Amino acid sequence: MKQINVLAFDIGASGGKAMLGSFDGESLSVSEAGRFVNAPANLGVVSYWDFCRLFNDITTIIAATQSKVDVASVGVDSFGGTPCFVDRCGRLLENPHFPRDPNMQQYLDEAAKLLPIEMVNNAMGVDMRGEYRQLLKLRYLTAFRKGFASEIDKLLFLPSCIGYYLSGAVYAEFSYVASLQWCHTGKPDWNTDLLSLAGIRAEILPPIVASGTCVGKLTDSIRTGNNLKPANMITVTEHDTGSAMSLLTAETDDCVYLNQGTMSVISVPVTKPALSANALENHLSIEASFGDQLRLTRNLAGLMLIQKCRAVWNRTGTTQSFDELDAAGCKAASRQYLFRVDDPALRLTEDAPSLIGELCGAKLTPGETVRAVYDSLAETYLETIRLMEHETGKRYRKIRVLGGGCRSPLLCQIIANTCGIPVEAGPVEGSAIGNICVQLIASGEVKNMQEAVQAMQKSESLVCYTPR
């Protein structure tokens, strides 16, 4: 058969990448097509992403890739929590707010006076603490930005907003909405009662579509203005974690999936959207992946802790690569220092090494800090797996690690040792590969995710770690 090429854009908090998937009928090869910066611009009062620069980088990569190979389709995924607002004329009302902007807290505090957490919990009948911050952002915009709410014609999200300007299609993808808990649990319909508390009108909410839907083609005006060739626009699993977790549909149900990047997201497949009171109390939620696959999920701290420490060490002249930090961690004592990785102070601190030392009750070297982070993350993963086993009644017998954590043999081995079950690491680019696989399924080139993963595994090898 003729080789088919699809282009996947995976957008993170500070940068993004484009990966080209090439399928020849038997094997799937993946190569990098480009990278781009997605750093927020801090204006002092609030931080924004530069949507126009981001969009220009994406169209530039599409054009450069199409100059070398035919591209059948394009798909976009990104990390969650990024609403975009479009007016009646199709204009972006403002750049999207950076989701992790600490400057927003003062505005959220004001919004909380109008929308206290107790009001949300009472209205929904469940603990909504995990979704409260995103609701407060909406409430701030609708209550304190005079005239802004009336200008909104479409509420989109970062991937679907890019899709809108590429193809003209108006939609929201199910996994992205589900990650915010803005739909009814496990169902592709908006929770308008919840959103009305934040001042959001039902008429601005777009149709929710399933991942793997072809919503259109690149528009003539976009093609002409950016020197692009025809290509389909596919709604992949647009939440980046959901995109990586789409691969879990090809696994057995005794496998835990750990998507390990800036944050850690642990998931297992489930068939019912119901959650017990214990699950809600421990911040487990139901999210969606490809093919109506529901997953029991817990969001935790991740390699952000190492990134924050490394930024401090670099500023103070102790510049070390991640490989050098791992090597230093190998020399540190195992399980000597442990701390709660979900301590709220860790998210806000500008001096992560000192705070981690305080939490451990000692002044730590960089190697000891790395080891403390890895050991503490692994302990939290074990705790989460036990919670999920209690919720599902199943016993999980292996862990599949995706994302940047795959690059650390030390971390993967610590996870295997702590959890007492084997770890399979790979692929690193789990979100992008999930994106590619969904596009191939949508095109009809492969039947299902199992077939797509089998094709990928012919060119992508896994690294296995057994408990010691």
C-beta separation of 50 from 11 below 8 A? no
8 Å CB contact between 211 and 236: yes
Q: Answer whether 400's CB lies under 8 Å from 434's CB.
A: no
| Same-domain check for residues 231 and 269 | no
Same domain, 382 and 404: yes
C-alpha span between 258 and 318 (Å, rounded): 30
Residue 461 CA to chain centroid, in angstroms?
23
Same structural domain for residues 20 and 64? yes
CATH number at residue 101: 3.30.420.40
* 163 and 309 fall within a common domain: no
Residues 383 and 253: their CA atoms lie apart, in Å, by 19
Domain total of the chain = 2
- Looking at the whole model, is its pTM more than 0.75? yes
Q: Judge if 200 and 234 occupy the same domain.
A: yes
Q: Looking at residue 126, what is its pLDDT?
A: 60
Query: Residue 422 — pLDDT band, cuts 50, 70, 90?
Result: very high
Q: Are residues 258 and 215 in the same domain?
A: no
Q: What percent of the chain has pLDDT over 70?
A: 97
Residue 450 located in a structural domain: no
Closest CA to 248 of 66, 422, 450: 450
Domain end call among 213, 238, 263: 238
**Burial of 274 from C-beta contacts in 10 A (0-12 / 13-18 / 19+):** exposed
Neighbours of 225 (CB within 10 A): 10
Q: Is residue 436 part of a domain?
A: no
Residues 211, 274 within the same domain: no
Side chain identity at residue 381, one-letter code: Y
Contacts of residue 459, Cβ cutoff 8 Å, sequence gap at least 6: 27, 28, 29, 30
Q: How confident is the model at residue 454 (pLDDT cuts 50, 70, 90)?
A: confident
Encode pLDDT of 76-133 as tens digits.
999 877 899 999 999 999 999 887 777 777 888 888 999 998 888 777 666 666 677 8
307, 175: one domain: no
Residue 458 lies in a domain: no
The pLDDT tens digits for 207-229 are 999 999 999 999 999 999 999 99
* Residue 459 forms part of a structural domain: no
